[in-house]
Structure 1
Amino acid sequence: MNNIKSTFSIKDLEHLTGIKAHTIRIWEKRYNLLQPERTDTNIRCYSLSSLQKLLNISYLNNNGYKISKIASYESSKIPDLVKEVAIKDQTNNHTLSTFKLAMVNFDQKLFYDTYSSLVDVKSFESIFYEDFIPLLSEIGMLWQTDTITPAQEHFATTLIRQKILINTEKIQSQNQIKSKKVFVLYLPDNEVHELGLMFLNYQIIASGHQSIYLGQSVPIKSLKDILGYYDDITYVSYFTVKPDKNNIESYIDEFTNTILNHPHTKFWILGRMLSEIDIKTLPKQIQAFDSIKNLVKKL
Structure 2
Amino acid sequence: MNNVKKNFSIRDLENLSGIKAHTIRIWEKRYNLLTPERTDTNIRTYGLASLQKLLNITLLYHNGYKISKIAKIPESNIPLVVREIVSKKSNKDHVINAFKLAMVNFDQTIFFNTYNALIAEKSFREIFKETFIPLLNEIGLLWQTDTISPAHEHFITGLIKQKILINTEKLQNLKPTKTDKVFVTYLPENEIHEIGLLYLNYEIVLRGYQCIYLGQTIPMENLMDVMKYFNNIHFLSYFTVVPEKDKINKYVEDFKNLVSEYNNPNLWILGRQIQYIDESKLPNFIKTFTSIEQVISKL
Give yes or no for TM over 0.5. Answer: yes
Question: Which letter does structure 2 place at the counterpart of 1:34?
Answer: L
Paired position in structure 2 for 1:20: 20
Q: Does 1:219 align with 2:215?
A: no
Residues 96-143 of structure 1: per-residue CA shift (max 9 Å, x gap): 111111111111121111111111111111111111111211211111
Paired position in structure 1 for 2:68: 72
Task: Calculate the aligned-residue CA RMSD, in Å.
Answer: 2.8
Paired position in structure 1 for 2:33: 34
Question: Which letter does structure 2 place at the counterpart of 1:105?
Answer: N
CA 184–260 in structure 1, closer or farther in 2 if over 3 Å, else same: farther
Q: Hey, what's the Cα distance between the residues in 2 that align with 1:217 and 1:257?
A: 20
Q: Hey, what's the Cα distance between the residues in 2 that align with 1:103 and 1:177?
A: 36
Conserved 8 A contact 1:177-1:208:
yes
Q: Hey, what's the Cα distance between the residues in 2 that align with 1:216 and 1:82?
A: 35
Long gaps (5+) in structure 1: none
Q: Secondary structure at the match of 2:188?
A: coil
Question: Which letter does structure 1 place at the counterpart of 2:154?
Answer: H
Conserved 8 A contact 1:4-1:106:
no
CA 14–269 in structure 1, closer or farther in 2 if over 3 Å, else same: same
Q: Hey, what's the Cα distance between the residues in 2 that align with 1:148 and 1:246?
A: 29
Long gaps (5+) in structure 2: none
Q: Secondary structure at the match of 2:112?
A: helix
For residue 284 of structure 1, report the CA deviation from its aligned partner: 0.6
Count how many residue pairs are aligned between Structure 1 and Structure 2: 290
Paired position in structure 2 for 1:294: 294
CA 246–7 in structure 1, closer or farther in 2 if over 3 Å, else same: closer
Question: Which letter does structure 2 place at the counterpart of 1:131?
Answer: T
Q: Which one is further off, 34-43 or 281-290?
A: 34-43
Percent identity for Structure 1 against Structure 2: 52
TM-score (norm 2): 0.85
Q: Hey, what's the Cα distance between the residues in 2 that align with 1:210 and 1:166?
A: 17
Conserved 8 A contact 2:83-2:110:
no
For residue 70 of structure 1, report the CA deviation from its aligned partner: 2.5
Once the two structures are superposed, the pairs formed by residues 142-221 of structure 1 within 5 Å of their partners are 142-173=142-173, 175-180=174-179, 181-221=181-221
Q: Hey, what's the Cα distance between the residues in 1 that align with 2:182 and 2:132?
A: 27
Once the two structures are superposed, the pairs formed by residues 189-268 of structure 1 within 5 Å of their partners are 189-259=189-259, 261-268=261-268
TM-score (norm 1): 0.85
Q: Hey, what's the Cα distance between the residues in 2 that align with 1:154 and 1:37?
A: 27
